Structure 1
Amino acid sequence: MINSHTTRALVTMGLACPASATASAQASLTLPPLPRAPAAHVVTITPPGRTGSEPAIALNPYNANQVVAAAGAWAAYSTDSGRTFTPVQPAGEGGHGGGDVSLTFDDKGSVFLSFLSIQKNGLPGYWGHGPGGNGIWVRRSPDGGRTWDRDPVAVKVWTGDEPDVKLEDMPRIWADAEPHSPHRGNLYIAWIEWQLTQSIILFSRSRDGGRTWATPQRISTKAGFPRDDNGAVVGVIGTVAPDGTQYLVWNEGLNVTLTRSQDGGKTFEPSRPIFDVGPPYFGGASGIPGVSRTMGFPQIGLDGRRGTLYVTWSDFRNGDVDVFISRSDDRGHTWTPPLRVNDDPVHDGADQFFQWMAVDPSDGSVYVQFYDRRDDPASRKTRVTLARSIDGGKTFTNYAWSDDPFEAQNAFLGDYEWLTARDGRVYGVWTEAAEPRRPTIIRVGTADFGAKR
């Protein structure tokens, strides 16, 4: 996908400071180094000879030693809580594989990998114009990612011979593993469908452990534009409350939109905007230096003990890109004003981007991972920062997580990273550009806040 967004200086929800003032402030500012995340450990998991972007990671809630990560057509599993990983190829030689992966563990401890497979793309930007065969697939591993079912299960597939082929894109899968939910065991998946004249959000569910999937239904009340960098509906993701209620969010132009299902994904409330944000895509000549394209798609998380919902995203309302969070204490009806998660000075010209959020179900701690350029006045060198809140998202402490910084030099970093947390341990996965010719590699970071609750 190609981003032609060229209005970064036209800040949607505030005034950008002049470039000269930003550069001056950034050059004269010396920030103290961030504290290192406790027990921080970072490992490269990319198989030899492979590259990767748009990774996902999941932790087995019933076995803290099992961690699975994936990117593209390959995956990697860990049996030691993320210290080391063994790469595997879930698709097998010549099998179905693809991109835009996501992962989830179900209530029985199986892990599911969703992905898209595209034989022929549509026009860049206008993905619903002239695509060929494509589809959304799900594959299962019963043993923590060591082995995978030989054949994936199709959720929605186009052969390419139909007269009205659409492009299915960016699937996200999640599971209801809540002990007291009436829908425990259900699997859910949602994605974007690019059509010739619009974009919509589709949803499907499985009630038999991923063996079959229901006919997809549209859940976006309002359609988006057909171009991905100009008012499309993009970045859908969901979470499940202890009572089985699902909450889903996505970008709909210049707002974040939410819908709920209280019957296990059979029906949904009309989707509605919950607050305004800046454009979800920013990149290119007027975007973040050295990055061909970046995103600010939202994520939603839930503290099941308090009933608090959180949504995080990034935008450039302050002139440079920052990470924000909002919370709701009334099941998504009202939301707090945006709170800035990164704690460098406002308007300092440093970009923070590609955020991902996770809420620890054991204690309600909120974690947000993001790329961070506060240490480089030239805004080129990038590190990964981990932010943590232990007061319900009211304040955040920022921690250094990754090792040496990297420079992307216009490498494609993808559209997202991923993060998960449980029992004070945090597991993140992200893309870095590596020497000598800037291939992209996938790295997993772990941190342990067990002693800092």
Structure 2
Amino acid sequence: MIDVHAKVACAMGSMRRSLLMLALVLLAASSATLPPAPGKAVITLTRKPGFWSEPAVAIDPADPHHVVAAYQVGGLVDYSRNAGRTWKSVTAVPHDHRLIDGDVSLAYDAHGHAILCYIAFDKLGTESYWAHHATRNGIFVERSNDGGVHWQRRAVAVKAPVGRPNVFEDKPYIVADDTHGPYRGNLYIGWTEFHRSYSEMLFSRSTDGGGAWSHPIRISTVNGLPRDDNGATEGFDGTVGPHGTLYTVWQDGTHIVLAVSHDGGKSFTPSHAIIEVPSMNYYVQGYQDREVNGFPQIAIAPKSHRLFITWSDYRNGEVDIFSATSTDGGVTWSAPVKVNDDRAHDGRDHLFQWLSVDPTTGDAYVIFDDRRADPKNELATITLARSTDGGRTYRNYEWTTKPFDPSFQFMGDYNGIAAYAGRVYGVWTEAAPTHAKRWSKAWRAPRTIVRLGMAQF
């Protein structure tokens, strides 16, 4: 006797499984195909492949047609005076007494001056990164009064190299107060100082456009570990609110911490944890098979006073980009929102994010390396994410479609982005194309290039 009910149940189960498989296939296909960024254009900034990485970009709020971009190493700056239609390259960093420069950051002050910040070593220095091997490096700034065309021939030391061994200054980041608050025109720089047995976050400010800088003060409440590793105090970023309040964040072990200044950088609230993360560093296949950082960024929407934070971590079993927001000055924060809009737990990494909030619209933009299109989780493209609802959701757009292989060269630790009036500029590092078959006699590890993307929303 035929069990009709059993046959129907079996058929229904088979249909459900088929529909589920179809849904997964469609989801995978949709996650690998993104709409192009509106009005996108991509150019290569570097003249030839080299060892370029960790680029930065800034827009002049006094004249948004002026844009500057920089990258390590070599002190090269590219500028545009026509909203990105044409670009020119200049050497901004004099090499009279410094061996290398890196960890660049850029800002425009309230008067339209471009400020370049970087680290460099003197002739007694070393290129070694680790604190217990590195000596005599410092933090310097230079200024351009014409939007990046010409730069000072003499750099100003924020933290000059010292004779003490086993001290290393790392990853300075510059912030400008271009608000109409009481500290308009101030410049701020925060960075990590590594010692043999600990790390700490230091801070300096300038009230004269970068000509002189205050003696560094410590703004981290507790010490971190002495290396670029889990437990270190590292990854400074900052933003200025409409009334001159300075918000600063960095990563301290398994927490993102916040410290706030209400007096133009003279003093800070004790740094305290605001977001818990699984780890500061995480292993990523490729990218020289090394640990990479999930550095946080912070930005503010001036009209709504909404604070945004972005970072990356490994909570889903792969590296994803996350965002959180605060509407009460950083006292409380929303639950994390995943910025990359592909399926969670899919084994595809997304990293090297950077954040910018358009001061005219309050829209948030995030750039990141994206591996969603590669089932092997090896090749990467560049994705731009945008939130128009205060960080509740993010829509992803493709900035590049041709993937690159980040396995064989140092790709840096971050990308850069800036947005103003719907115009978005992003900068990133790619492995230079190579036509030789891998591991053949003609093959060599590819060099890197720095590229710049533009979009118009």
TM-score norm. by structure 1 comes to: 0.89
The Cα shift of 1:26 comes to: 9.1
The Cα shift of 1:86 comes to: 1.2
User: Match for residue 87 of structure 1?
Assistant: 89
Q: Does 1:150 align with 2:158?
A: no
User: Match for residue 170 of structure 2?
Assistant: 169
The Cα shift of 1:93 comes to: 5.2
Supply the AA of the counterpart residue of 1:444. L
Supply the AA of the counterpart residue of 1:203. F
In the aligned structure 1, how far is the partner of 2:448 from the partner of 2:282? 20
Residue of 300, 303, 312 corresponding to 2:301: 303
Rate the CA distance shift 1:290–1:131 in 2: closer, same or farther, 3 A: closer
Supply the AA of the counterpart residue of 1:90. A
Rate the CA distance shift 1:237–1:26 in 2: closer, same or farther, 3 A: farther
Residue of 355, 371, 382 corresponding to 2:353: 355
Bigger mean CA offset, 389-398 vs 44-53: 44-53
After superposition, residues 153-302 of structure 1 pair within 5 angstroms as 153-159=156-162, 161-162=163-164, 164-179=165-180, 181-283=181-283, 287-293=284-290, 294-302=292-300
User: Match for residue 405 of structure 1?
Assistant: 403
In the aligned structure 2, how far is the partner of 1:106 from the partner of 1:276? 33
CA shift digits 1:302-339 (9 cap, x unpaired): 01111111110001100011100011111001111111
CA shift digits 1:239-266 (9 cap, x unpaired): 0001000000000000100000000000
The Cα shift of 1:281 comes to: 1.8
In the aligned structure 2, how far is the partner of 1:26 from the partner of 1:190? 46
In the aligned structure 1, how far is the partner of 2:108 from the partner of 2:287? 35
| 8 Å Cα contact 1:158-1:166 kept in structure 2 | no
| 8 Å Cα contact 2:94-2:154 kept in structure 1 | no
In the aligned structure 2, how far is the partner of 1:67 from the partner of 1:291? 32
The Cα shift of 1:66 comes to: 1.1
Rate the CA distance shift 1:28–1:312 in 2: closer, same or farther, 3 A: closer
* SS of structure 2 residue aligned to 1:377: coil
* SS of structure 1 residue aligned to 2:29: coil
In the aligned structure 1, how far is the partner of 2:339 from the partner of 2:134? 39
CA shift digits 1:325-360 (9 cap, x unpaired): 011111001111111011101111111111111100
User: Match for residue 131 of structure 2?
Assistant: 128
The Cα shift of 1:405 comes to: 1.2
CA shift digits 1:187-215 (9 cap, x unpaired): 10000000111000000000111110000
In the aligned structure 1, how far is the partner of 2:245 from the partner of 2:285? 37
Rate the CA distance shift 1:193–1:122 in 2: closer, same or farther, 3 A: farther
Rate the CA distance shift 1:292–1:63 in 2: closer, same or farther, 3 A: farther
Gaps of 5+ in 1: 1-24
The Cα shift of 1:291 comes to: 4.0
The Cα shift of 1:144 comes to: 1.1
Q: Does 1:324 align with 2:322?
A: yes
Supply the AA of the counterpart residue of 1:288. Q
User: Match for residue 16 of structure 1?
Assistant: none
Supply the AA of the counterpart residue of 2:224. G
Gaps of 5+ in 2: 1-23, 435-444
Rate the CA distance shift 1:65–1:292 in 2: closer, same or farther, 3 A: farther
CA shift digits 1:169-228 (9 cap, x unpaired): 10000110102x100010100000001110000000001111100000000001101121
* SS of structure 2 residue aligned to 1:31: helix
User: Match for residue 75 of structure 1?
Assistant: 77
In the aligned structure 1, how far is the partner of 2:328 from the partner of 2:159? 35
Residue of 99, 111, 115 corresponding to 1:112: 115
Residue of 315, 322, 327 corresponding to 2:313: 315
| 8 Å Cα contact 1:282-1:288 kept in structure 2 | no
CA RMSD after TM alignment: 1.8
Bigger mean CA offset, 41-50 vs 222-231: 41-50
In the aligned structure 2, how far is the partner of 1:87 from the partner of 1:278? 41
Bigger mean CA offset, 112-121 vs 198-207: 112-121
Supply the AA of the counterpart residue of 1:48. K
The Cα shift of 1:230 comes to: 2.3
| 8 Å Cα contact 1:123-1:129 kept in structure 2 | no
| 8 Å Cα contact 1:296-1:315 kept in structure 2 | yes
